[in-house]
Amino acid sequence: MCLILFAYNYHPDYKLILTANRDEFYSRPTRAMQYWPEQPELLAGQDLEQGGTWLGLTRHGRFSALTNHRNGLSQPQGQSSRGNLPLQFLLSDLSCNAFIEATDPHRFDGFNQLIDDGQQLCYLSNRATSLQPVPRGIHGISNAVFDTPWPKLVTAKQALKNSIDSDKFDADTLIKLMQNPATYPDELLPETGIALPLERRLSASFIRSENYGTRATTAILIRHNGVTEVVEQNYDAAGKTERNTFRFMAPATLMAE
């Protein structure tokens, strides 16, 4: 994932309202979101090159999503694929705190991860505080640490807030919200160590180029009573491809005070 927007305990009926874009090379082999035959409780896409995932849920109420932390000035140092992090969490029964204690973040290149063990939603990163309970509200993660105000994140968070506050939102609305192709003036762009033309191209919420772009948009709506809806819209270099919808009942939750 390269852009995740979410509202946590913000709407009275929903524990989590989330929409996210995965940006990747079109040539990288991918399995679309599905229940994994080898892990039937797991709903996730799969990176067929390394075997991990960028976003997933389980019927037991666990959730995780991941973005890379972009730093073009440093060479990759990680010994393990970052896609293993969501997979390891989702397939465990560890609490958020226990997962952190059992994980060596230095084995991975820069990452941001959301994890929810069914009791709390937490953010962790090897480029920021290792564990942070997520407060109620509207938040976002791109390729910097939690809620870093990159232009596309600021714009998209406001659009999500407007949609939820108007109480006119559903999975299709959340997916359309992520299709903004607008880029931003150079003076507003972050400096992440990559060439300016590429920085400019990556400033859009929805990325489209010859070899690289937004491969999937995922919308997740989890009600406090456990009713969960997940919709994934996939794309290739030519445009939209398959769309998949999933609904299941996870354990109910209490709204945080």
What total of structural domains would you count in the chain? 1
| In-domain check, residue 231 | yes
pLDDT at 255: 55
pTM of the model: 0.94
Best CA proximity match to 173, nearest among 18, 63, 14:
18
**CATH number of the domain that 201 lies in?**
3.60.60.10
Determine, yes or no, domain membership for 69. yes
Q: How many helices (H) and strands (E) does the chain have?
A: 5, 13
pLDDT in tens, 92-130: 999 999 998 898 888 999 999 999 999 999 999 999 876
**Which structural domain, as residue segments, surrounds residue 185?**
3-249
Tokens of 38: 């080898």
Considering the domain boundaries, does residue 254 fall inside one? no
Residue 256 lies in a domain: no
In a domain, 257, yes or no: no
Here the tokens at position 253 are 């939750």
- Tell whether 227 is covered by a domain: yes
Position 74 in a domain: yes
- The answer to whether position 255 is within a domain reads no
Maximum pairwise Cα distance, the chain: 48
Convert the pLDDT of each residue in 167-192 to its tens digit: 989 999 999 999 999 999 999 999 99
Low-confidence ranges of the chain (pLDDT < 70): 73-78, 130-131, 254-257
Residue in the structure block whose two tokens are 């509202």: 7
- The sign one gets for the Cα dihedral 154, 256, 249, 117 is positive
Nearest to 4, CA basis, from 127, 123, 140: 140
Look up residue 212 and give its amino acid. Answer: Y
